[in-house]
Structure 1
Amino acid sequence: MEVLQILNEHGEVDSGLEPDFSDEKLLEVYRSMVLARAFDKRMMTMQRQGRMGTFAPNIGQEACIVGQVTSLTKDDWFSPSYRSFGAQIMRGWSMKHLMRLWAGFHDGFPPPKDVNDLPFSIVIGSHVLPAVGIGMGMNYKKKRDCVLVNYGDGASSQGAVSEALNFAAVYKAPVIFICENNGWAISTPTKKQSANEVLATHGVAHGMPSIRVDGNDILAMMCATKEATNRARNGEGPTFIEAITYRMSLHTTADDPKVYRNDEEVKVWESRCPIKRFETYLTNKGILDADSIEKMVTSCNDEAIQARDAFYAMPPADPTEIFDHLFNTIPEELQKQKEEYLKRLHQKGVDE
């Protein structure tokens, strides 16, 4: 199966495929990609300082993640995986809100008001079936909206994902499936977790239009998802998009990728950086220059720092809250545990 590519790794455009997006739209998307990387780097620093929980960076996947939501409206739904914060920011999540989420505050998980996003699930692939359910509900209510759900190559091996593809195809649910194939399911390469490395065939096997896209090509991602959302809104059912990309950084901050992959492989993909590729294209079109690029990067870094400072200024969590959101009425045994916890919370030393 061929791979859709409009911008090659040098930022050169295929003039026969070049879309007619406005300069304003292209700049908005570029800024979202730069902002995602600025947020990424700030979160990595905070985690290494012990001021943030485990975090899943998206360095190298900005085009794939941001590009997929560029055709969604506020009435559409988005069911993200845990590496989707670039898309979430574009959908209306503030960076401070996302910091609260990754730091484990319960108020960080619900989406902002009037943003039709589901909170991500750490259980791999578990968020895909609910997305199809939302799509089936749209059909039932005769709405001309759509749902976009993304997941990684590792999640493609989950049984629930196959069930979701089947239900969506059978009931012509308006769902766009984005399989972000970054080559690694933590430390397992795609060739070891799937006999067929062309994951777009999963969509074909379930009877839906399917396409492979260069996931580091922002224009290809925007065009593929635009066509898929148009199909969904016109009642033509689901679309499967395999976005071929690469995780240039860690799986999470608890990971050391040097244990399972070599530096040469990473260097090859660093030369295909989606942001640099898009910068070259925008510069050639006269939309960007060296000065405007520098100002954009500085502005995004400053915004990430401001979000960090606002996050630090918020009060710490109440440690007793861990008991408060499990049951409507706390059971007797859990109440005893809470009392024991409170007793020991401020205790110094060890009981003899």
Structure 2
Amino acid sequence: MTSVNSEIVNKGELSKVYQVLTPNGDILEPIEAKIHESVILKMYENMLLVRAFDRKSVNLQRQGRMGTYSPFEGQEASQVGSALALSSNDWLFPTYRDHAAAIVHGQDMYRVFLYWKGHIEGSISPEGKKIMPPSVPIATQMIHAVGTSWASKIKNEQNVSIAYFGDGASSEGDFHEALNFAGVFKTPTIFFCQNNGYAISVPFESQSSSKTISQRALAYDIKGVRVDGNDIFAVWLTVKDAIERGLKGEGPTLIEAVTFRYGAHTTADDPKKYRDQEDLSNLWREHYDPLDRLKKFMNQNGLWNDEKEAELVKRINDQIDIHLNKAESYPMADPLDMFNHVYAQTPWQILEQQEELKQSLRKGERK
């Protein structure tokens, strides 16, 4: 049981994608004029923050304090690097796994906790932030991102839309429709694929005969880039370039970030049933971990040390605890909320289900 990404690691072919920062912390091209030192520090601080948030969330789910959760550990460079490249005016269309990108773009952490605890308030973004609710249906947010960026273009607004998705979404019709419309109307849309090698249990080579996702850009005459998704410098620079192209009227960009998620698809999944989970995770964690890579670079260039690390870890843990306490101070979510804002006129069978749930909840209260 392998994947396209494990094969890349085993064959040492990660250098065939766009890479700036090597796993050893070395630089393949000058970055001094492109990435300021303050941005580099922000990259590491945010990656450390979201990794701690992710691990905390998995623990909360295991303790029964939160519902099913979708972890992202291993993909921090892809999410943080892409989100940091955006301006505050840009639209962000996340999936159910892109809470790291949402947090970096301005979503409150306590809102993310609320989302996974079943609160509708968890989908509300702060005033002035253009962060859409997480999309659970696969690939549908890609079409929405095209429509939003098309509207921005018509109104001469200087902002782009970025749609996050996994490799499994590239097998959906919405993927092709989104790329087609974006190409035709040259919308300032960034399609950001985090290719983890698996659509839940289906390896990429069983989804498509194409060797990469980025090559599909050719069919729609748009730019396609394949980038090392664990190299935050390469991700940030690629997204910056895509933003610049989009605002110049040069159309959309399809970015394939090759990465690997260490954990399960969700906390309800057992990946050991369909891939060599432990071996693959250890392989990627040991050789290609995005945080370790950036930390090596920072240490080598005098930007970081153990004392700064300890201070940051404490500050992050305190910050997460504050947001968790705020989320847990909310009353329990009302299961009946699931029936709201779905139909203008609710069908009879849904009304029956709603009434059945009401009766069940009343019986539970009496007990």
Q: Distance between the aligned counterparts of 1:55 and 1:100, measured in 2?
A: 12
| Paired AA for residue 270 in structure 1 | R
3-state SS in 2 of match to 1:115: coil
| Paired AA for residue 333 in structure 2 | A
Shift of 1:341: 3.8
| Paired AA for residue 310 in structure 1 | K
1:19-98 counterparts in 2 under 5 A?
20-98=34-112
Pair 1:136 & 2:136 matched: no
> What does the per-residue CA deviation read over 1:199-231, in whole Å, with 9 as the maximum and x for residues that have no partner?
111112211111110000000001101111011
Query: What are structure 1's unaligned runs of at least 5 residues?
Result: none
Q: Distance between the aligned counterparts of 2:119 and 2:86, measured in 1?
A: 28
CA RMSD of aligned residues (A): 2.1
Q: Distance between the aligned counterparts of 2:59 and 2:91, measured in 1?
A: 31
User: Larger deviation: 11-20 or 124-133?
Assistant: 11-20
| Number of the residue aligned with 2:6 | none
| Number of the residue aligned with 1:251 | 265
Q: Distance between the aligned counterparts of 1:85 and 1:95, measured in 2?
A: 9
| Number of the residue aligned with 2:138 | 124
Per the alignment, do residues 51 and 181 of structure 1 end up closer, same or farther by CA in structure 2, a change over 3 Å counting?
same
Q: Distance between the aligned counterparts of 1:220 and 1:100, measured in 2?
A: 33
| Number of the residue aligned with 2:331 | 315
> What does the per-residue CA deviation read over 1:237-274, in whole Å, with 9 as the maximum and x for residues that have no partner?
11111100001111110111111111322222112110
Percent of aligned pairs with the same residue?
36
Pick the aligned partner of 2:315 from 279, 282, 299.
299
> What does the per-residue CA deviation read over 1:15-62, in whole Å, with 9 as the maximum and x for residues that have no partner?
446653222211112111111111101110110111111111110000
Shift of 1:325: 3.4
Shift of 1:105: 0.8
Pick the aligned partner of 2:255 from 234, 241, 247.
241
Shift of 1:70: 1.7
Q: Is residue 117–residue 333 contact of structure 2 (8 Å, CA) maintained in 1?
A: no
| Number of the residue aligned with 1:347 | 363
Pick the aligned partner of 1:265 from 260, 273, 280.
280
3-state SS in 2 of match to 1:68: helix
Pick the aligned partner of 2:124 from 110, 121, 127.
110
Shift of 1:108: 1.1
3-state SS in 2 of match to 1:56: coil
Pair 1:190 & 2:204 matched: yes
Q: Is residue 64–residue 215 contact of structure 1 (8 Å, CA) maintained in 2?
A: yes
| Number of the residue aligned with 1:168 | 182
Query: What are structure 2's unaligned runs of at least 5 residues?
Result: 1-14
Q: Is residue 111–residue 124 contact of structure 2 (8 Å, CA) maintained in 1?
A: no
| Number of the residue aligned with 1:205 | 219
| Number of the residue aligned with 2:232 | 218
| Number of the residue aligned with 1:228 | 242
| Paired AA for residue 191 in structure 1 | E
Shift of 1:320: 3.8
3-state SS in 1 of match to 2:211: coil
Q: Distance between the aligned counterparts of 1:284 and 1:348, measured in 2?
A: 60
Q: What TM-score, normalized to structure 2? A: 0.90
Q: Distance between the aligned counterparts of 1:230 and 1:349, measured in 2?
A: 57
3-state SS in 1 of match to 2:321: helix
Per the alignment, do residues 137 and 56 of structure 1 end up closer, same or farther by CA in structure 2, a change over 3 Å counting?
same
> What does the per-residue CA deviation read over 1:258-310, in whole Å, with 9 as the maximum and x for residues that have no partner?
11111322222112110111111111121111111122122212222222222
> What does the per-residue CA deviation read over 1:133-170, in whole Å, with 9 as the maximum and x for residues that have no partner?
11111121122221111111110011110111011111
3-state SS in 2 of match to 1:5: coil
User: Larger deviation: 329-338 or 122-131?
Assistant: 329-338
Shift of 1:346: 3.3
Q: Distance between the aligned counterparts of 2:101 and 2:350, measured in 1?
A: 39
Q: Distance between the aligned counterparts of 1:338 and 1:237, measured in 2?
A: 46
Pick the aligned partner of 1:150 from 164, 174, 177.
164
Per the alignment, do residues 113 and 11 of structure 1 end up closer, same or farther by CA in structure 2, a change over 3 Å counting?
same
Per the alignment, do residues 26 and 322 of structure 1 end up closer, same or farther by CA in structure 2, a change over 3 Å counting?
same
3-state SS in 1 of match to 2:83: coil
3-state SS in 2 of match to 1:180: strand
Per the alignment, do residues 343 and 153 of structure 1 end up closer, same or farther by CA in structure 2, a change over 3 Å counting?
closer
Q: Distance between the aligned counterparts of 1:165 and 1:4, measured in 2?
A: 22
Q: Is residue 80–residue 118 contact of structure 1 (8 Å, CA) maintained in 2?
A: yes
| Paired AA for residue 80 in structure 1 | P
| Paired AA for residue 27 in structure 2 | V
| Paired AA for residue 52 in structure 1 | M
Per the alignment, do residues 169 and 335 of structure 1 end up closer, same or farther by CA in structure 2, a change over 3 Å counting?
closer
